[in-house]
């Protein structure tokens, strides 16, 4: 896969992708469909941040072809299927790939809607974070069990002494 240069994408644009991407399409064909998506710097914060359809973005310290191996969506985004829109572009300064996702315009199917709720932002952020961890470290870091997860250690026996 050819590396996506900044000039190919007109500097500010992200390539919109959906479903499975052909390797060549990432580099070439999608350039023609490049859309001027999020102009983050021009948006004031506060109220507009609450939009449920806003882009969630993460920078993955790997080249685009690593983030979308074979032009396919990485897990766990792949599991979200057509429910989300995915975009990517090279990060400046050799910092890898900016990977963005937001809910697709179509309503989510039943169970997906139940899982996502009114605000899909947290689910998307979690998914993007997992993509990033998988690409950079090979696995998703698991938390230690919290004392709130199960039997309360504090309710366990006091240690004599």
Partner 1 sequence: MRALCWLGEDGLAVRRVPDPELRNSTDAIVRVRRSSTCGEDLPLFAGRGPVLSVGDVLGHEFLGDVVEVGPGVRRHRVGDRVVVCASVACGNCWYCRQGHYASCDNGSAGPAVARWGQPTAGRFGHPPAAGGFAGSHAEYVRVPYADVGAFAVPEPVDDDRAVFASDAVPTGWLAAELGEVGPGDVVAVWGAGAVGQMAARAALLRGADRVVVIDRYPERLRSAERHVGAETLDHRAVDVPAELWELTGGRGPDVCVEAAGPTGDDAEPPSLAERFAAATRPGTAPERPIAVREAVHACRKSGRVVVLGTFTGFVDAFPLGAVVDKGLTLRAGRQHGQRWIPMLLERMARGEIPTGHLATHRLPLDQGAHGYDLFRDRADGCLRAVFTP
Question: Which residues contact partner 1 by CB under 8 A?
Answer: 59, 61, 95-96, 122, 125-126, 128-129, 132-133, 136-139, 141-148, 152-154, 156-159, 161
Q: Which is nearer to partner 1, 42 or 144 (CB)?
A: 144
Residue 134: which of 92, 83, 79 has the closest Cα? 79
Residue tagged 């070439």 (tokens): 28
Q: Are 97 and 89 in contact (CB under 8 A)?
A: yes
In the complex, the smallest distance separating the C-beta of residue 43 from partner 1, rounded to whole angstroms, is 15
Q: Which is nearer to partner 1, 52 or 126 (CB)?
A: 126
Q: Which is nearer to partner 1, 105 or 138 (CB)?
A: 138
User: What does 98-143 look like in DSSP terms, one character per residue?
Assistant: EEEEEE-SSPPPHHHHHHHTT--HHHHHHHHHHHHHHHHHSSPPPP
Q: Which is nearer to partner 1, 31 or 140 (CB)?
A: 140
In the complex, the smallest distance separating the C-beta of residue 93 from partner 1, rounded to whole angstroms, is 9
In the complex, the smallest distance separating the C-beta of residue 35 from partner 1, rounded to whole angstroms, is 26
In the complex, the smallest distance separating the C-beta of residue 25 from partner 1, rounded to whole angstroms, is 27
Q: Which residues does 63 contact at the CB level (< 8 Å), separation at least 6?
A: 3, 90, 96, 97
SS3 25: helix
């Amino acid at each position: 896969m050819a590396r996506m240069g900044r000039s190919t994408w007109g500097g500010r644009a992200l390539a919109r992708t959906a479903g499975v991407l052909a390797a060549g399409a990432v580099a070439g064909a999608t350039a023609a469909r490049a859309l001027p998506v999020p102009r983050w710097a021009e948006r004031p914060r506060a109220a507009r941040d609450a939009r449920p359809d806003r882009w969630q973005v993460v920078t993955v310290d790997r080249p685009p072809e690593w983030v979308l191996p074979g032009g396919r969506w990485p897990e766990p985004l792949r599991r979200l299927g057509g429910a989300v829109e995915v975009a990517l572009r090279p990060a400046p300064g050799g910092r890898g790939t900016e990977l963005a996702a937001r809910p697709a315009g179509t309503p989510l199917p039943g169970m997906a809607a139940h899982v996502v709720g009114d605000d899909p932002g947290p689910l998307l952020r979690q998914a993007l974070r997992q993509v990033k961890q998988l690409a950079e470290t090979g696995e998703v870091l698991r938390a230690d069990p919290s004392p709130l997860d199960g039997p309360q250690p504090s309710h366990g026996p006091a240690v004599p002494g």
